[in-house]
Homo-oligomer: A and B are copies of this chain.
Amino acid sequence: MKKEINYTQAITELEAIVSEIENASIGVDELSEKVKRAAELIRYCRGRLTATEKEVNSILNNLGNDENIQE
């Protein structure tokens, strides 16, 4: 996966894939490919979510610490 992709793009692509798959307008062969791709994207997104959550929690935790320090 190219690094340039962001979460939104990933999700967008994923949703497009899901939509394609659901419409059964693709063949099994492609399907497999698509599923593979979707899996990749899901993995990526999940990773991003986890990373974001971690980051955000870290930020907020620091804030909370600040607060504690202040108090």
Contacts and interface: CB of A to CB of B under 8 A. Distances in A.
B39 A62 contact: yes
Interface residues of A, number: 32
Report how many copies the assembly holds.
6
A16 interface: no
A51 B66 CA distance: 13
A28 B48 contact: yes
A59 B36 contact: yes
A65 to B, nearest CB: 11
A41 to B, nearest CB: 10
A-B pairs, 10 with minimum CB distance: A7-B28, A35-B56, A6-B29, A39-B59, A8-B27, A39-B63, A32-B55, A7-B29, A35-B55, A32-B52
